[in-house]
Amino acid sequence: DSDYFNKLCPGYFLIGSCENGHRFSKEIYCGREWCPTCGAKWSAAHQRKFSRWLPKVLQMKQLGYFVIEWPLASRFQLRSKTALEDAGKMIKQVLSGEWEIERRRDRGERISRQRKEDIRAWWFPEGLRRWHFFGDLVKELGEGMKGLAWVDNASESSSGGRGDRYNPHVNVLVSYGFITRGKFRRIKRALRAALQEPDLIVHYGYTREPARMVHALKYITRATFLDWMWAPDVAASIYNFHNAQVWGKWDGEPVWSLDNLEGD
């Protein structure tokens, strides 16, 4: 479909007409990241993504934010939809605790229901994850996300990177705050083993301030693939790609509201 790269947006969808012949139509946004309309900061498409996740973030007393990034030499492996989907699912498996449970079973361990619950509770029973395709992490963490308290200082990320250089990274939001060094090390080890990437780069930051949570949510839901010509092969491959994944139960009450931001 030649429209895939350059499509008129918004398009219009006819929803009906009245007896006088007036026609009613609804605006349809394509949602592609490189669309000049949808890819814009705080566009209708951006706001829709933000609103879809907001009710979940409102249930968080603290917001923890993982950024998982591949070393320069391995990024070529993530240029297809399948590779991105597989890596995204694996990250969810690890962070939800399911990977540890599976691994223990593979080793012949018997896992009781209680043990399973304990393992899940050590990890992150609820989470949200989304890919960014571009972005210099030194800049993202140091400027865009500087409001969070970061467990590391992005020292492992390749700095001076151009914004238009392919740098797929997964953003994960969890309901968690400070992480000890020991716990962080264990998480990193598991992710590296599961993704078979010994040099995988993992960042973690957190906040308990609503204004910063809102900023993080806006930041993570924004578009980064702003021009398909930055990586035409990837753009062609990710047709119908489900970028976001949510796991766990989100049936809690909101613990803060957007009203908390007044005067901010």
Phi-psi bin for 42: left (phi > 0), alpha (psi -120 to 50), beta?
left
Examine residue 35 and tell whether it contacts Zn ion (CB under 5 A): yes
CA 129 – CA 41 distance, rounded (Å):
19
Our CB check for Zn ion shows the closer of 9 and 238 to be: 9
Of 45 and 179, which has the nearer Cβ to Zn ion?
45
CA dist., res. 78 & res. 82, Å (int): 8
Q: Does 88 bind Zn ion (CB under 5 A)?
A: no
**In angstroms, what is the minimal distance from the CB of 49 to Zn ion?**
13
Q: Quick check: 158 binds Zn ion (CB under 5 A)?
A: no
Phi first, then psi, for residue 29 (nearest 5°) are -100, 135
**Contact pick of 64, 97, 127, 135 for Zn ion (by CB under 5 A):** 135
Shortest reach from residue 109's CB to Zn ion, in Å: 37
Does 37 bind Zn ion (CB under 5 A)? Our answer is yes
Residue 9 binding Zn ion, by CB under 5 A: yes
| Contact map string, positions 182 to 221, toward Zn ion, x by CB under 5 A | ----------------------------------------
Write down the least CB distance from residue 257 to Zn ion, Å. 27
Minimum separation from the CB atom of position 89 to Zn ion (A): 19
Q: 216 with 173: CB under 8 angstroms?
A: yes
Nearer to Zn ion, 101 or 234 (CB): 234
Cα angle at 86 between 84 and 89, to 5 degrees? Answer: 105
Question: Between the CA of residue 240 and those of 31, 70, 236, what are the distances in Å?
Answer: 11, 23, 10
Per rule CB under 5 A, count of chain residues that contact Zn ion: 9
Which residue from 46, 49, 130, 132 is in contact with Zn ion, where contact means CB under 5 A?
A: 132
Q: Is 148 in the site for Zn ion (CB under 5 A)?
A: no
Q: Which is nearer to Zn ion, 97 or 171 (CB)?
A: 171
Q: Judged by CB under 5 A, does residue 56 bind Zn ion?
A: no
Give the start-end residues of each E strand in the chain: 11-17, 23-28, 63-69, 127-134, 149-150, 166-174, 201-207, 244-247
Q: Which stretch binds Zn ion (CB under 5 A): 23-31, 50-58, 80-88, 182-190?
A: 23-31
Per-residue b/e over 91-120, b at no fewer than 16 CB within 10 Å?
bbbbbbbbbbbeeeeeeeeeeeeeebeebb
Q: Residue 128 and residue 246: Cα distance in Å, rounded?
A: 4
Residues of this chain that interact with Zn ion (CB under 5 A) are 9, 29-30, 35, 37-38, 132, 135, 140
